[in-house]
Structure 1
Amino acid sequence: PVAFMKGIVGKFFYQFGITVTFAVLVSLLVSFTLDPMLSSRWADPDMEGRGRRNLLFRWLERFNREFDRVAERYRRIIGWSLDHRKTVLFTGLGSFVAALFLAPYLGSSFMPTYDRAEFQVNFSAAPDAGLEESRGRMEQILGVLHDLQGVELTYGTIGAGETGTVREGSVYVKLKDRKDRRDTQEELEARARGSLSRIAGIIPSIIMADSMHGQKPINLNLRGDDLEVLQTYSERLKKMMAQIPGVVDVSSSLDQEKPELRLKVDRARAVHVGLSTAQVVSTLGPLVGGKVVTTYEDHDGDAYDVRVRLTEANRQDPTRIERLTLLSRGSDGKRVLVPVADVARMQLDISPAKIERLDLRRQVVLSGNTAGGVALGDAIEAIREGAATLGLPPGYGVSFSGEAEDMAETFRYIFEALALAVVFIYLILAAQFESFIDPLAIMLSLPLSLVGVVAVLYFTGDTLNIMSLIGLIMLMGLVTKNAILLVDYSKVLRADGLDRRSALIEAGRTRLRPIVMTTLAMIFGMLPLALALGPGAEMRAPMARAVIGGLVTSTMLTLVVVPVVYTLLDDFAQVLTRRLGFGKGH
């Protein structure tokens, strides 16, 4: 299921799922072929008792004696748990319920936040800013960034990309390695944010350097038809977002308004002199905006448009535009020239610098960052609750896009994969045990593993994200192993004539060693990843921490709770058999 997930998360973990699947298949082949052969060929003199035993063997022999004493104590624990089934059952259920209550406090995010040693500063200058003004703002920003202790290099661009304009720019900031600087990336970003806010004439924002969308993680889309209504409610939403703790760099696509000269045609007078609005536009458009009349090709073969329009002095002066004449025909059919001022008037107004649309409807985009350790999911939930109190008029609504949308989509696909993995596990166990009831006792270890996952993520300060959820899916296949060893051997002993209680106690005593061995092997294998050693290792650490926490609690609870649940389900199966009238052969 992990390998064939849809969406962005499927692209992330396709190789991961395929690699794990084939590695397990090869491991199965080796355990059936190579391991038995090597065990028959490699003789251990210490185990056979020949010669003088070395120090390592004596230490292992002492360890085995201690482990056998632990196994004997565990035999008594199983006996006690089988005599107090209600107590054990309610203890396991209480642990699971406590994990469910603790889970909302974890927070959620798309990817783990960690010190990447890099970030990006985006800025927008005034709507009428030219290249020189933007360059000046860029130099001010670079001066602020270079004053930060820990910045290694910066790289700034203005108007980059297909949709970039000369009033927009970005600065890539590379920090020194974590060991070479005193402050964390989050502290440096907060310091830069405070200094950049004091630069006049720009709207700055700090985003992740390798962001897939190249924008802030929080993007709230307010949609509707009337631009004035959108502007009114966007201001309320912006004020509400800025008051939420941990939400910073709040901005709106309507923030920067620009002066606009509007030409309003008096249609009655225009018709009277034989003109239409389209004729006015077709005449003044090329004069003011320009018209491409030909192309020029240089010696390198690059082609450039040649645009003809009025000089800048004539374009910038409204009175000169009003004196322009329009060609019309009088009632007698003769051509006449009509001044623009006779059929239209100029009006100075304010308009948004940018108007966006989504699904053919106008929208205002309000964006923001998270800071202070606030999880993206918590910030989005707070914004959603605040937006619900505004009372938007009919026909207007809000939605999230960008990283918030990716997170919601990713969680949906991961939980679908999780449900599919559980179904596959049940079907395989039902086929192997030839029973639809026995696998239920084994699968009880799945919810018991959630106790450790939630507890470890909570105490390490991690969130529910792609990595921790992938670790949760891995647990689905790992934690059932312990219960399989226990239940399978107890069924073998019962088939040999032991009663159910004795079979469970003996199975627990015998299978304790392989259960502890495999669990410790997985825990110590994940430990370097969980400790987040090395730069960038924090990104993968939540996966290992989720696996370790789930293995610890699942193993501890499985060794006690699973035998109890197995007896309860066995009693239920016997009652069901008697009521349905099945014979013993069934």
Structure 2
Amino acid sequence: MNNPVTIDNISKILTAQNFSMPAGYVTDDNNQKYMVRVGDKVPDEEQLKNLSLFDTGIDGLGVVKLSDVADVFIADNSDEVYAKINGKDGVVLSLSKQSNIATATVCSNINDALNTLSEQNEGLHFTNLYNQGDYINLVVNNVLQNLLMGAVLAIIILFLFLRDIKPTIIVACSIPISLVFAIVLMYFSGVTLNMISLSGLAIGVGMLVDNSVVVIENIYRLRGLGYSAVQAAVNGARKVAGAIAASTLTTICVFLPIVFVEGITRQLFVDMALTIAYSLIASLIVALTLVPAMSQRMLSRLKPQKDIQNSKIMKTYERSLRFVLRHKVVSIIVVAALLFASMFGTLARGFSFMPDMSSTELQVNITLDDNATLDDTISVAEDVNDIINNYDEFETAGVMTGNASSMMGMSSGSASNDAGTVIAYGVLKDDYAKQSGTISDRLSKDLEGIDGKVTVSSGSSSSMTSMLGNGSVEFELFGDDLNTLKNTASDLAEKLSSIEGVDETNSGIGATSPEIKVTVDKKKAAQNNLTVAQVYQQFAAAVSSEKTSTTLTNSDGTDIDVVVVKGDEQKVTKQSIGDISLTYTDKEGNEKSVALSKVADISDSETMNTINRQDQKRYLTISGTVKDGYNLTEVTNSAKSMIADYDLPNGCTVEFSGSDKATMDAVGQLMLMMALAIVLIYLIMVIQFQSLKSPFIIMFTIPLAFTGGFIALLITGFDISVVSLVGFVMLCGIIVNNGIVLVDYINQLRLDGKERTEAIVEAGKTRMRPILITALTTVLGLSVMALGIGTGAEMMQPIAIVCIGGLLYATFMTLYIVPLIYDAFNKKELKKVEESELESVDD
């Protein structure tokens, strides 16, 4: 007879007896339909004890109740979960949003719900330990402040150049109108107002006045030549319409190749590209419509202007320009030398994916060794709690045991399964957000005495960089033989640790666990009518210590899991494994049993906790963290050199992964994007100028901009990153605008009959002011972002730094190098074209 009192049988009986389900519908004589529910749920602990399991069929023994074969009680497991918030006991909840809902919206709704619960329950208090919504709102508000401050600074520089409030107001109007237009287009194209899209508006705010400045400057010039207000407004806009349309298109087209970019890079910058494009399209429309209309009314009376052409600045510029034109070779050599020196100096620093960002939150992960008990973990948690609550910089601090990556173990009540993990969160006060790096270093030192592996990181500064594993060298070692893999991985990890800049290393082998191997003797098992699968099933049932079978609902409405657990005397130990009884049916149909040791060999061994495979190949991931002050790319290159010199065993290969691979992949995609952008820029200018030569001359402004960008990165100490490369891509489209305006006017003057050199000099003097105004408005519009003011501003800071450096250097050099290149490529004089001929062509 089979033993019915097994953990498996009792679990199944509980599930079957504690049962209530709709079985169908019946009707009465009046055709009234009734739903029939069969069974009922056990309502409380007392009835669970008296639950009938089975009838023995033996007189005097009768029905066996659950309480006859088991102790039934409600267990309090609260001591298995440790959580303290600001030094007080608490419960940790972790909530995740749906992918199609905005994070900030979800967080706001959750806060509203928690506030309602607090009002309804006296003494209940909720504290946010990790709130992505707060961080997002903080960053977005900082970006908006940067946008507004940039716009104000751009307007101020306009007034300083124009020295007249009326044209300043006209040009300044292009900023809010263009922004509103861009936001409308964002709405219809599904682009939300987020950190990336708002950063795009903040980056473009200084460029929004560029087209209007060129138009108003030309209108001003024509009014000075005696044109009426209406004539100056119409002709002033018409004569530069082609040039500013081309310059706007060149700026926008640099983002078109982003459709060829994949992965994170595309996700990061699509919204930014669209917002910049929308705002620039709006600024072009405003410059060609609103600005002339407002100028015709507001500039009817022209304020007397100083003779700028004969000022000391212009005379100095003219002399220096003529000097450069006479010494072309020396000038080109100096400019080229500065380009290569700055480029190699910047490249020598290496690459990074994203810049470090400040955060309002710090996270501490502590992993104890595998033998740590729950009491050991709680003791460590108490020590961490004492340390972290002594920091005045934290507004809120929480310490808990459980799953360190998501706290989901805590919220589900399974923290006891993670006895060797402690996690702590600290929310910094707003005044200390910028000091998160310093505070993190200090906290790491204070936790050095803690028994376990301690990691301190920013809680929400950049989930992307965390996902990419930023700050570590990683490579996979592939191979077939597990022992060879383990030995080689250990050796490579040791060699990796000797590389300068590498801190902690990990061989990827991880912890090993003791294992008992049961090898079934198939011949002996077959003699007892047993298969390997049957041995496994009976063994698994014997060693299973607990099973969750059903639930019961208390009178207060709370659900309680019913868990069937073996008594201590029934538990299988290492020593008693061989005594496990296996049942089988012999040839005569009689049920018999045999000890496990009679049909299997039992031996001790060790096994890895996890074995990774890719394309059916085993692999181990060897990694090493990079020390502060060392560049990840440089350290990775040293690791690659070490691997190249290492004699790998047969069948073993190495592939680098992690953030370095992601960084280089992104850099490669952006370089392709830049190359395609340069081709598009050239084609647009060919259409504009109806010439191959003039666009070719203008393209020389791009290496000038790159020189300035490299110098800016060197001065500020930033590495070349994916973000800074986007700045270089943007520079390609921005800087050619100065060249377009300058070369276009040189061609106009030569068509009017001016001698080549004189046309070059006059064009430089005439276009200097609008070129400087457009450059400086863009620079000042980006200046607040370049300073990295506010939490999260560091993400877009490299773009602003590269653009400012490139614009300042290239704008100044454009006034010399473009005329120099133009003079070198245009030795033949152009035929003078009369205005009557142009009018006949227009007709």
TM normalised by structure 2 equals 0.60
Shift of 1:102: 1.2
- What residue in structure 2 maps to residue 193 of structure 1? 444
Asked if the contact 2:515/2:607 (under 8 Å) is kept, the reply is yes
Distance 1:549 1:437, change over 3 A: same
Asked if the contact 1:120/1:172 (under 8 Å) is kept, the reply is yes
Structure 1 residue 108 corresponds to structure 2 residue 351: yes
Shift of 1:486: 1.6
Distance of 1:429 and 1:20 partners within structure 2? 20
Shift of 1:550: 0.5
Which of 751, 760, 764 pairs up with 1:504?
760
Shift of 1:312: 5.2
- What residue in structure 1 maps to residue 423 of structure 2? 170
Distance of 1:483 and 1:180 partners within structure 2? 43
Shift of 1:70: 1.9
Query: Is the partner of 2:514 in helix, strand or coil?
Result: strand
Larger mean CA deviation between 500-509 and 268-277 belongs to: 268-277
1:393-432 to 2 correspondences below 5 Å: 393-432=649-688
Distance of 1:123 and 1:455 partners within structure 2? 42
Which of 183, 189, 206 pairs up with 2:456?
206
Amino acid at match of 1:103: T
Instruction: Give unmatched runs, 5+ long, in structure 2.
Output: 1-254, 831-843
Distance 1:66 1:297, change over 3 A: farther
Distance of 1:332 and 1:426 partners within structure 2? 93
1:261-302 superposed Cα distances (whole Å, 9 cap, x missing partner): 332334454455554332321221121136869433545586
Distance 1:430 1:536, change over 3 A: same
Query: Is the partner of 1:555 in helix, strand or coil?
Result: helix
Distance 1:531 1:37, change over 3 A: same
1:231-242 to 2 correspondences below 5 Å: 231-242=486-497
CA RMSD, 1 decimal: 3.3
Larger mean CA deviation between 156-165 and 518-527 belongs to: 156-165
Asked if the contact 2:384/2:399 (under 8 Å) is kept, the reply is no
Amino acid at match of 1:255: G
Amino acid at match of 1:482: N
Amino acid at match of 1:414: L
Amino acid at match of 2:809: T
Shift of 1:531: 1.9
Distance of 2:653 and 2:549 partners within structure 1? 46
- What residue in structure 2 maps to residue 228 of structure 1? 483
Asked if the contact 1:323/1:340 (under 8 Å) is kept, the reply is yes
Asked if the contact 1:156/1:169 (under 8 Å) is kept, the reply is yes
Structure 1 residue 365 corresponds to structure 2 residue 637: no
Which of 264, 273, 276 pairs up with 1:20?
276
1:156-186 superposed Cα distances (whole Å, 9 cap, x missing partner): 34133379851334322333445599xx433
Query: Is the partner of 1:173 in helix, strand or coil?
Result: strand
Which of 474, 495, 501 pairs up with 2:751?
495
Query: Is the partner of 1:319 in helix, strand or coil?
Result: coil
Amino acid at match of 2:269: F
1:464-495 superposed Cα distances (whole Å, 9 cap, x missing partner): 22332222222111110111122111111221
Which of 519, 531, 536 pairs up with 1:281?
536
Larger mean CA deviation between 563-572 and 473-482 belongs to: 563-572
Distance of 2:707 and 2:753 partners within structure 1? 36
Shift of 1:103: 2.4
Larger mean CA deviation between 524-533 and 314-323 belongs to: 314-323
Larger Rg: 2
Query: Is the partner of 2:311 in helix, strand or coil?
Result: helix
Distance of 2:677 and 2:790 partners within structure 1? 32
Asked if the contact 2:308/2:314 (under 8 Å) is kept, the reply is no
Shift of 1:499: 3.1
Identity of aligned residues (%): 28
Instruction: Give unmatched runs, 5+ long, in structure 1.
Output: 50-56, 575-586
Distance 1:293 1:172, change over 3 A: closer
1:355-396 superposed Cα distances (whole Å, 9 cap, x missing partner): 333444333334444442223333333333333333333443
Shift of 1:441: 1.0
Distance 1:39 1:283, change over 3 A: same
- What residue in structure 2 maps to residue 515 of structure 1? 771
Distance 1:572 1:67, change over 3 A: closer
Distance of 1:131 and 1:107 partners within structure 2? 45
- What residue in structure 1 maps to residue 336 of structure 2? 93
Query: Is the partner of 2:358 in helix, strand or coil?
Result: coil
Structure 1 residue 374 corresponds to structure 2 residue 630: yes
- What residue in structure 1 maps to residue 606 of structure 2? 350
Distance of 1:562 and 1:500 partners within structure 2? 14
Shift of 1:27: 0.8
Distance 1:122 1:379, change over 3 A: farther
Structure 1 residue 548 corresponds to structure 2 residue 548: no
- What residue in structure 1 maps to residue 721 of structure 2? 465
Shift of 1:434: 0.8
Larger mean CA deviation between 376-385 and 464-473 belongs to: 376-385
Asked if the contact 2:433/2:791 (under 8 Å) is kept, the reply is no
Query: Is the partner of 2:397 in helix, strand or coil?
Result: strand
Distance of 1:477 and 1:555 partners within structure 2? 13
Query: Is the partner of 1:338 in helix, strand or coil?
Result: strand
Structure 1 residue 526 corresponds to structure 2 residue 777: no
Shift of 1:12: 2.2
- What residue in structure 2 maps to residue 433 of structure 1? 689
Amino acid at match of 2:437: E
Query: Is the partner of 1:116 in helix, strand or coil?
Result: coil
1:22-421 to 2 correspondences below 5 Å: 22-43=278-299, 47-49=302-304, 61=306, 68-127=311-370, 129=372, 131-147=374-390, 150-157=393-400, 158-159=402-403, 160-161=407-408, 166=418, 167-178=420-431, 184-200=435-451, 202-210=452-460, 211-212=463-464, 213=466, 216-217=469-470, 218=472, 219-271=474-526, 273-289=528-544, 294-298=549-553, 311=567, 314-315=570-571, 317-328=573-584, 336-421=592-677
Amino acid at match of 2:379: G
Asked if the contact 1:207/1:214 (under 8 Å) is kept, the reply is no
Larger mean CA deviation between 105-114 and 354-363 belongs to: 354-363
Count residues with an aligned counterpart. 557
Distance of 1:204 and 1:215 partners within structure 2? 20
1:179-237 superposed Cα distances (whole Å, 9 cap, x missing partner): 599xx43333333334444322x323233322245684234433333332232233233
Shift of 1:132: 4.3
Larger mean CA deviation between 398-407 and 92-101 belongs to: 398-407
Distance of 1:88 and 1:363 partners within structure 2? 56
1:309-343 superposed Cα distances (whole Å, 9 cap, x missing partner): x5556545222111112234668876542211223
Query: Is the partner of 1:126 in helix, strand or coil?
Result: coil
Amino acid at match of 2:425: Y
Amino acid at match of 1:540: M
Shift of 1:543: 1.5
Distance 1:24 1:347, change over 3 A: same
Asked if the contact 1:106/1:457 (under 8 Å) is kept, the reply is no
